């Protein structure tokens, strides 16, 4: 986990401390961002299974994902992995928000 954060900070040229982990379950995506994520997940899964249906049926819950919001830009960085594949998606700040039904402890 820490290794992912270090790699992302290097690739994105941001401080590791500016990457703030957030639970994917606490995020609501704008439709354009959700479609992009679904398409990426579908592509990752289709490399292992050629019998997949429409990409809108597959979402980020299908594969392991780490998510971080960037302090300075408030962009969201998603790091997804399945098998030997990994993908990083950067969702601009207008493509995501905190769900309004979460409870903060």
The number of folded domains in the chain is: 1
pLDDT at 77: 97
pTM: 0.82
- pLDDT for 11-49, tens place per residue? 999 999 999 999 998 999 999 999 999 888 888 877 766
| β-strand pairing of 85-91 with 19-21 | unpaired
| Residue 101 maps to a domain | no
Asked if 93 and 30 touch (Cβ cutoff 8 Å), the reply is no
Which structural domain, as residue segments, surrounds residue 46? 2-96
| Residue 103 maps to a domain | no
């Amino acid at each position: 986990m820490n290794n992912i954060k270090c790699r992302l900070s290097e690739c994105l040229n941001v401080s590791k401390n500016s990457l703030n982990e957030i639970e994917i379950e606490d995020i609501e995506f704008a439709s354009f961002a959700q479609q992009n994520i679904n398409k990426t997940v579908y592509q990752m899964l289709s490399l292992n299974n050629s019998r997949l249906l429409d990409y809108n049926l597959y979402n980020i819950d299908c594969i392991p994902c780490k998510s971080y919001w960037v302090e300075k830009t408030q962009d969201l960085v998603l790091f997804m992995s399945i098998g030997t594949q990994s993908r990083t998606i950067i969702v601009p700040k207008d493509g995501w928000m905190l769900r309004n039904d979460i409870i903060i402890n």
